[in-house]
């Protein structure tokens, strides 16, 4: 299989069609930086009159952002009053019942203001997710006109790599309420046992190549047959133009949300934990150890890929986004 020979230095594979990615450093992700010109593809079809257009949803998002800023400004005014009250207390060097009552009221107001701002931010994130869903649905709808007789146009590798990076960068960050636990498919949180990935979802799929070797590839779900309990998935790398029919144990859904390292570190893979990670500049997953988990929401994992060409059996640290790091699913013993 072409893909299984596209990585240099991973389990003794040799390069055929993909140049070796850099081994370390800040640019080890190996993907081009996004610019305004590197946006998502244009929408393929106009929405029906009954559907809200993306333009309308963007207007709604703009209004939500304005309302969020208004809530923040209101909260900042109250925080300023709290600071002034503390300064006055220090100046008078006493804590009178008046100050206690006033501060209690100010702090209660501050907590209410913070919760209102958080609710507005959640509404903004929900609207962004809605816009992304509509765009993805239209992208999928544009592909329904293709068939085996009329193959899809091959996407250039550079465009594909940019799109994969953009997908990782725009993965929504989960922000829960105080005390709320991260949901399934947030960061390292696994899917529920009865979960079925939807049409268009990205997954890690274990497929068998022409030479008989099995590889974990990045794929897109076409459908799921509840009768046979099998997925139909497309190889995301359109150079392969391959479709696979796989059992559920050969498919791992990718995270749908990023975990916040500052508030939910338990939803991240930890140092020295074994994972499957997408090797930079390829569409293949390989076994790796977590070298360092992200310290901020926008940070990537630093991972050490299993590599027999190194004395210790692992590659130098490479960066991989949360979107493309999943738990290892071990093979069944025969």
Q: What is the pLDDT of residues 212-263, one digit of tens each?
A: 889 999 999 999 999 999 999 999 986 556 789 999 999 999 999 999 999 9
Higher pLDDT, 33 or 165: 165
Two tokens at 220? 């897109």
Instruction: Output the pTM of the full model.
Output: 0.69
User: Residues with Cβ < 8 Å from 211, sequence gap 6 or more?
Assistant: 1, 4
Determine the pLDDT at residue 160: 87
* Cα–Cα distance for residue pair 284/279, rounded to 1 Å: 6
Among left, alpha and beta (phi > 0; psi -120 to 50; other), residue 9 is left
Residues 142-165 have a mean pLDDT of 68
Residues 77-93 have a mean pLDDT of 90
Determine the pLDDT at residue 145: 53
Helix (H) or strand (E) holding 66: helix 54-92
* Cα–Cα distance for residue pair 287/315, rounded to 1 Å: 11
pLDDT of residue 151 exceeding 60: no
- Name residue 223's beta-bridge partners: 232
Average pLDDT, the chain: 81
* Cα–Cα distance for residue pair 319/169, rounded to 1 Å: 13
Determine the pLDDT at residue 303: 98
Collapse the DSSP code of 121 into the 3-class scheme (helix H, G, I; strand E, B; otherwise coil) and give the result: helix
Determine the pLDDT at residue 122: 86
Determine the pLDDT at residue 45: 45
Determine the pLDDT at residue 300: 97
* Cα–Cα distance for residue pair 315/154, rounded to 1 Å: 32
Residues 208-215 have a mean pLDDT of 85
Determine the pLDDT at residue 215: 94
* Cα–Cα distance for residue pair 221/191, rounded to 1 Å: 15
- Please state, for a pLDDT cut of 70, what percent of the chain lies above it: 77
Determine the pLDDT at residue 144: 57
């Amino acid at each position: 299989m072409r893909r299984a020979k596209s990585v240099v230095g991973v389990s003794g594979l040799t390069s055929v069609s993909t140049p070796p990615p850099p081994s370390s450093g800040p640019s080890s992700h190996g993907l081009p930086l996004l610019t305004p010109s590197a946006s998502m593809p244009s929408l393929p079809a106009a929405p029906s009159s009954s559907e809200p257009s993306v333009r309308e949803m963007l207007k709604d998002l703009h209004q939500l952002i304005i309302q969020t800023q208004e809530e923040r400004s209101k909260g900042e005014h109250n925080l300023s009053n709290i600071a002034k009250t503390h300064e006055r207390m220090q100046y008078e060097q006493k804590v009178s019942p008046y100050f206690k009552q006033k501060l209690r009221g100010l702090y209660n107001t501050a907590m209410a203001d913070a919760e209102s701002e958080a609710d507005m931010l959640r509404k903004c994130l929900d609207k962004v997710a809605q816009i992304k869903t509509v765009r993805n649905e239209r992208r999928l709808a544009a592909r329904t006109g293709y068939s085996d007789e009329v193959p899809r146009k091959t996407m250039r590798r550079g465009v594909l790599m940019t799109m994969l990076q953009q997908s990782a960068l725009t993965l929504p960050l989960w922000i829960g309420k105080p005390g709320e636990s991260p949901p399934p498919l947030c960061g390292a949180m696994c899917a529920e046992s009865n979960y079925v990935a939807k049409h268009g979802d990205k997954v890690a799929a274990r497929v068998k190549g022409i030479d008989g070797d099995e590889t974990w590839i990045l794929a897109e779900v076409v459908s799921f047959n509840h009768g046979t309990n099998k997925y139909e998935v497309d190889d995301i790398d359109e150079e392969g133009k391959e479709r696979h029919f796989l059992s559920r144990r050969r498919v791992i859904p990718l995270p749908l949300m990023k975990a916040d390292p500052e508030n939910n570190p338990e939803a991240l893979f930890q140092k020295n934990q074994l994972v499957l990670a997408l090797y930079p500049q390829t569409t293949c997953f390989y076994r790796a150890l977590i070298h360092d988990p992200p310290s901020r929401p926008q940070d990537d994992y630093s991972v050490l890929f299993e590599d027999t060409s190194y004395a210790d059996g692992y590659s130098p640290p490479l960066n991989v986004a949360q979107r493309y790091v999943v738990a290892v699913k071990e093979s069944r013993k025969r």
